[in-house]
Structure 1
Amino acid sequence: MPDALDVDGRPVRRGCEQHQRLRTSFCVAWEQAPFDHPSLVIPQDYVGDENAVTARPVSPKISTRQALDALISLKPIGAEGRSVSGGPLQASYNDL
């Protein structure tokens, strides 16, 4: 079934999909609503190096010793998004 056409004869579905994709990627890059978030703490790795890690404090609920997580904290971002001075998020492959 062909796409619906608007009054100028252009496909409506394709235009809406393109607009939504561009709008979504803009909102994601600037962390604008609905992609804003509260303060987040994320485990990144373990505290230590290739020779030894720091042990997590002993818990009566866990019988095995575990390494202490290294954490990173993300600042909260409101619905208006990131500041212009902070710039948009970069694609993940830029960090490789």
Structure 2
Amino acid sequence: MSLVRNIFTTFVGNEARRHTQGHGLRNFGLGMIAARIATRSVPGALLVAGAIIAKRLYDDSKEAEALPASEAVIDIEARPVPDKYDDKPEPV
């Protein structure tokens, strides 16, 4: 049982670290709590595993819906370039 617990704790910890990379101490703590819940009981493990799977499916669907940068429309307001001779009188 100890080997299974260590493997599952490592998996949950790695998933939590991957999803919270660069997002601070709060998310690190949530990942630690999730790993603790997952290793304490079978229902907890199912809950945490289900949440990880649901999050991955959600992220994949959002990524599939996103437009690639090459197809994105960039709306830029065009402004005329000021003419350097507008204010000066014409030479005679």
TM-score normalised by L of structure 2: 0.29
In proportion to residue count, which structure has more strand?
1
In proportion to residue count, which structure has more helix?
2
TM-score normalised by L of structure 1: 0.28
Larger Rg: 2
Task: Report which structure shows greater RCO (CA 8 Å, sep ≥6).
Answer: 1
